[in-house]
Chain A
Amino acid sequence: MSKITKIPIGPFHIGLEEPIYFKIDIEGESVKNVDMINGFVHRGIEYLAMQKNFFQNLILTERVCSLCSNNHPFTYVMAVEKIANIKPTKRALYLRVVADEVKRVASHMFNLSMLAHLVGFHTLMTQTMEAREIVQDIKESIWGNRMDMSANTLTGVKYDVDKEQIDYILKRLKELEPQVDEIMDVYFNNKIVKARTKGVGVLPYEDALRLGVTGPTARGSGVMNDVRIKAPYAAYDELKPKIIIEKDGDVYSRTKVRWREVKDSIRLIRLALKNLPQGKVVLQKRPHIPAGEAVSRSEAPRGELIYYLKTNGLQKPERMRWRVPTYMNWESLRVMIPGNKLTDVAVIFNSIDPCISCTER
């Protein structure tokens, strides 16, 4: 009984979406220890970003990650604008928020449907994905792509919405909201989902604080570090996102945080479109960027995203560095996984909403 078995999973495994190598020690059915080795998708994008000019980097940063793709150029343009000392118009800032919140809804719903898939509730997964398709339709109709919206540009946004498009977004959101309510109820109260998520993969408050985790992973453990509230940017100082927090720190809490954020994001999109100020959407298409350094932060669907940019007055950045939320949340898996059953490892892994390709860049 007390014999320890070592189980390797990965780096390329049918159950993994991205390459990662787990070494799991199990005793009986419960996991004793977990070791993770990464670095299989390190592509050197940080170096590549220094070879590209500021306009090319708008797109390159967007390609770092697919699910939080809008946040990368968003944070990057904020850093550039800080150096160039440019403040975009109110309309541009509101439109940035709209794009960002649409992305957040889509990202969270994707992760949640993956949770349903991992607990073996496949009809719930397809149902969540189908509801998410409404958001994908909005993205395609307003920005022109299902994932990479290409919404942000230096000194503003690339797109503008007219009355017709606002009505279209509102109409689709009206379709989405009852579906979200319905599915959310299943996630919160269904026996299968609860049995597989409640009390599983607990991250205590102290550990969350010590490891510096961010996003829904932190908020599920009662650590409130939503950048939108702690250090507001764009139009979040006026739109005021709700503080969403859960105390238990298990997979169920993180699921609840994500669903409640989906609801709040829908509210924010509506509010932003309702209060959309008039004005230009972009000030100068190709501004001059002087030498300087700046740090900017934003709240991506998975947590805090930070960009450090150093320029030297030329057309290309001298140094650009960013850190994605998964980078911090990763170490928390070492706390969450031991003590759980082997079958729960995938559920716990999914609950931090891991994105390996943007962690390793």
Chain B
Amino acid sequence: MSGFLKIAIRNLLKGPVTDPYPFGKTFIPEKLRGKLKVDASICTACGTCQEVCPSGAIYIKKENDVYVHTTWYNTCCFCGNCEFFCPTGAIKLTNDFHTANTKEEKFKFVTIAAISEKECPVCGNKFVPATLPLIEKSYPHINDEIKNLMKLCPECRKKAAFERLYQ
């Protein structure tokens, strides 16, 4: 018993090890996987997150000319698959772990990002353009020409690129 007595006395001197959370501070690591943050300006509404989500917590729906990206936390298991597979880096998991909610709030417990379609300056068709972080992955150097082409819809872009080749 003497072996444990030493530990017990040391513990007595050390004081409590538990944190008085929520009344005091507690240890929250930077990398803790909590609620999502979706950056609508980077997202291209490609649907990868919806496909890889194991629990079906992500749902993307088109409403008029806006793609609504909804994450419902009552199904989310905070696995971070969406963050890992997101091709643009628009989804980031924050370390906000506060997920207690009342029954009335059940269906309101969501994160919403609205990705609006842009108008093509040439033909006026609406589309979701590729965003800069996505283009940066494909091209090492991005010049103004690429940036201008990004603004065009796929059809007009094909045309513009073809014309550029034969001029």
Partner-B contacts on A (CB < 8 A) = 52-53, 55-60, 62-63, 123-124, 127, 130, 133, 137, 140-145, 148, 150, 153, 158, 182-183, 185-186, 189-191, 285-286
Contacts and interface: CB of A to CB of B under 8 A. Distances in A.
Contact of B8 (A57, A59, A123): A123
A59 B79 contact: yes
B7 A158 contact: no
Contacts of B1: 190-191
28 contacts: A52-B54, A53-B51, A55-B51, A55-B52, A56-B52, A59-B55, A59-B77, A62-B79, A63-B77, A127-B4, A127-B7, A133-B17, A137-B29, A140-B31, A141-B30, A143-B31, A144-B33, A144-B80, A148-B77, A148-B79, A150-B33, A158-B80, A158-B84, A186-B4, A186-B7, A189-B3, A190-B3, A286-B85
A153 B84 contact: yes
A145 B78 contact: yes
B31 A182 contact: no
Contacts of B31: 140-144
Contacts of A58: 54, 81
Contacts of A186: 3-4, 7
A177 B4 CA distance: 17
Given A53-B51, A56-B53, A123 B4 contact: yes
Contact of A185 (B3, B11, B55): B3
B137 to A, nearest CB: 11
Given A150-B81, A186-B3, A285-B85, 11 more contacts: A52-B54, A53-B51, A55-B81, A59-B77, A63-B54, A123-B8, A133-B17, A140-B29, A141-B29, A158-B80, A182-B6
Contacts of A59: 54-55, 77, 79, 81
Contacts of B93: 144
Query: How large, as a class, is the contact surface on chain B?
Result: 20 to 34
A190 B4 contact: yes
Contacts of A127: 4, 7, 11
B166 interface: no
Contacts of B33: 144-145, 150
A96 to B, nearest CB: 15
A285 B84 contact: yes
B27 interface: yes
B76 to A, nearest CB: 11
A55 B85 contact: yes
Contacts of A57: 54
A145 B32 contact: yes
A89 B27 CA distance: 34
A286 B85 CA distance: 8
Contacts of B30: 141
A111 to B, nearest CB: 19
Contacts of B6: 182
Nearest to B48: A286
